[in-house]
Amino acid sequence: MSQTMFDRYGGFAAVSKIVLSFYDKALDSDTIGKYFEHVDLPALIDHQTKFISSVMGGPASYTNEQLERIHAGLAIDKDAMDEMIDLLEETLEEFGLDATDVDHLVGEIRGRTSYIVSA
């Protein structure tokens, strides 16, 4: 049985570090920083860690319906989604993920755009 990307990169502890670094960038972004101004950041980081872990083959899971419900009413537009993906891709590369794995993760997240973008 082949090892998942989640396991290869160190599980929840490693994904949590990636997500924390991503949010450092996101909070400083002129494009997406505003989305996080009045958010419970520790809870968001926990959810995002679980989401990224699930995309990496880890034990957590999020359905497309959950993603749609969570992001409903946030008026996330295509530019914000593109910025989020660019910052995540940059962060994954900084943490030394293999280019093929980065492409896979970015593709999986980009494939869920219609459940996240509403503006």
**Tens digits of residue pLDDT in 51-100:** 999 999 999 888 888 889 988 988 899 999 999 999 999 999 999 999 99
Q: What is the rounded distance in angstroms from the CA atom of residue 19 to the CA atom of residue 32?
A: 15
Residue 60 pLDDT: 83
H/E element holding 54?
A: helix 41-55
Task: Identify the pLDDT of residue 97.
Answer: 97
For 6-36, the pLDDT digits (tens) are 999 999 999 999 999 999 999 999 999 999 9
Architecture of the domain whose range is 5-116: Orthogonal Bundle (1.10)
Tell me the domain boundaries of the chain: 5-116
Q: Could you give the CA distance from residue 81 to residue 77 in angstroms, rounded to a whole number?
A: 6
Exposure string of 83-105, with b = 16+ CB inside 10 Å and e = fewer, is bbbebbbebbeebebeeeebebb
